[in-house]
Structure 1
Amino acid sequence: MIIGFLFYQSKEEKFQVPVNDGGGATLRPGEARSKPRVKIFDLPEKPVFAGEKVPIEQPDVFERFEREVYVNAYWESNALLMLKRSGKYFPFIEKTLEENGIPDDFKYVAIIESGLLNVTSPAGAKGFWQFMKGTAGDFGLEVNRYVDERYHFEKATIAACKYIRAAYGKFGNWTSVAASYNLGMAGIARRKNQQLSPDYYNLYLNEETSRYIFRILAIKEIFENQAKYGFELQKEDLYSLPPLREIEVTESIDNLASWAVAHKSNYKEVKIYNPWLINTKLNVRKGGKYVIKLPM
């Protein structure tokens, strides 16, 4: 760190010591300080999740919500990339949620689960919606040595909707449904029974599940009030999918690279637009069918 630097200007001027303003800029006497970079944000007075009230008047609820807003608002690079990726994936998610009678706020679950990336968790959950292998099969996703549909964005989104509808049938409350996406239906039900409380906000939970709804709320707040948090993206700034053609596959493919070339594409494009293909070949059972997408 540079503490200070003395320099001589002229016989008439005294030595001056530049001052660091804390933001990396060096100021000399008489120069104005820049405005502080860190801003205090006002939280919404009546936040809701999926139409359900968030009791922000409770001090711990306010602090938990505020924590997640600042964590995400000041992790600018991550928030910016999630905003940009939403252009590629939110249209399908929003449409599928609506078709299944699920509140639009659940699209933010995909954001906090994966950042809209096909990631793998330390526990082995995979894809945008972070399904474990066993749970994936329960909700109609195929997982084998050739195919892992947890990485199939559209099919995994439909599977997530099946889970959400099933959880709502159990709890009748969207906030509990969202919390169960982290802790499981049995986990949330057990905590409610043990603590004699039906309300997520009054449950004592592990740190991850305790933060879960507030992370969703924070992402929702930033996405719906982008300028307030310093993000000024236009529609053309968002990522988008190129026009894609769909090719039905009813027979096994011995070599996906050769197959791609035969369809005027390449292996890289096969993997980019079909990450659910996890082998260099594809086995198709008798009577089965897959759809592979490639750029037009």
Structure 2
Amino acid sequence: MGKCLECKKFVNVTFFLFLLLFLFLPIKVNSESELLNKEFYQNDAYEATDELPSEVIKNLPSDINVQVAYFLKYFTEQKREVVENWLARCSLFLPYFKIIFKEYELPEDLVYLAYIESGCNPFATSPAGAAGIWQFMKLTAKKYGLKINYWVDERRDFIKSTHAAAQYLKTLYKKFGDWRIAIASYNLGESRLRRILKARNFADYWQVINSDRIPAETNAYLPKWMAITLIAKNPEEYGFSVPTNEVVDYEEITVNGGVDLKVFSVAGDIDYQMLLLLNAELRKKVTPPGTFYKLKIPFGKKKILQEELSSLKTVVKRKRFYRKRINIVTFPE
């Protein structure tokens, strides 16, 4: 197997044990073709990043246990089809999330934040400008080493952005000393939450989260995460099908810059939509000109890609990108 080193089975826990452990810690898709359909990623790009409907906010109970039960009902009824999409799509990436979070010694259940952040959609963009699976804003992304320029937006790279998310969460926990507040600050923003804490001198999480200065979305963030975690770890218990999709197992190959991704797709006999998914960070569907680039391709395709690349009939075209004309290797029209 390629980059996927281990795939742990979901462990079913009771709601009580899950809650106790946490509080004391320092479209249903049936085929690969559907998963690779571009619309599968674009149609619900905002489902996880939209604000909660007013009726949800209005009816949200104050007790954490009841809040989680409320969102279990909300996800299994009103948002059932959306959650089915999340489960299907996230199954492609989940083992990588778990492996990376383990490297940073984070609680494994934090990986399920990706579900409520974006539904594991690397192409998701919020109205505020947060992007990728982990919904990083530009400043935070750059702070944690993600490159963003005209050609590349690594917030959409499912590996690099997960490393950044793990580092960010670990930093938040070190600063706040409470996973609940760390998770809330991931949603609200570290600086904004710190200002609220400083202004009000809050003693604990419950005082913080129930403050009138905390947005309703942040107030609901923790129970939403706890509810989706319970569903993702045991979907059948909540009436969902267990995702049967294979993990996107990949390997890397160093290629020339300034090449249309369609060239690599044809040369390696690789589904073009899969190639776009694996390399969602490439904003122009072209490898960055003037340098070499590590391209992610399905595992087992490197040899055929290397063998066929030089024999393809390609042309160099001058294309306009922003204010410059760049030579791009592509196919003749």
C-alpha distance in structure 2 between counterparts of 1:95 and 1:193, whole Å = 35
Q: Between Structure 1 and Structure 2, how many residues are aligned?
A: 246
Whose radius of gyration is greater, 1 or 2? Answer: 1
Contact 2:258–2:290 at 8 Å: present in 1 too? no
Structure 1 unmatched runs, 5+: 1-42
Contact 1:50–1:174 at 8 Å: present in 2 too? no
Match of 2:92 in 1: 88
Match of 1:159 in 2: 164
Q: Is 1:246 matched with 2:252?
A: yes
Match of 1:212 in 2: 221
Contact 1:50–1:105 at 8 Å: present in 2 too? no
The secondary structure found in structure 1 opposite 2:252 is strand
CA distance change for structure 1 residues 84 and 265 in 2, over 3 Å: closer, same or farther?
Answer: closer
C-alpha distance in structure 1 between counterparts of 2:169 and 2:288, whole Å = 31
Match of 2:63 in 1: 60
Task: Return the offset for 1:266.
Answer: 6.0
- After superposition, the C-alpha distances for 1:248-277 in whole angstroms (9 at most, x for unaligned) are 13x322433234434444644431321111
Q: Is 1:168 matched with 2:177?
A: no
Q: Identity, % of aligned pairs?
A: 30
Structure 2 unmatched runs, 5+: 1-13, 26-60, 302-333
The secondary structure found in structure 2 opposite 1:48 is helix
Match of 1:271 in 2: 276
From 175, 181, 186, the equivalent of 2:191 is 186
Higher relative contact order (CA 8 A, sep 6+): 2
C-alpha distance in structure 1 between counterparts of 2:69 and 2:105, whole Å = 30
TM-score by length of 2: 0.66
TM-score by length of 1: 0.74
From 221, 235, 238, the equivalent of 1:226 is 235
Q: Is 1:48 matched with 2:19?
A: yes
Task: Return the offset for 1:102.
Answer: 0.6
CA distance change for structure 1 residues 50 and 276 in 2, over 3 Å: closer, same or farther?
Answer: farther
One-letter amino acid of the structure 2 residue matched with residue 82 of structure 1: W
- After superposition, the C-alpha distances for 1:209-252 in whole angstroms (9 at most, x for unaligned) are 1011111011122223433322352xxx4222354342113x32
C-alpha distance in structure 2 between counterparts of 1:194 and 1:141, whole Å = 32
Contact 2:86–2:120 at 8 Å: present in 1 too? yes
Match of 2:322 in 1: none
User: Cα RMSD (Å) of the superposition?
Assistant: 2.6
Q: Is 1:290 matched with 2:299?
A: no
Match of 1:40 in 2: none
The secondary structure found in structure 2 opposite 1:176 is helix
C-alpha distance in structure 2 between counterparts of 1:227 and 1:166, whole Å = 35
Match of 2:130 in 1: 125
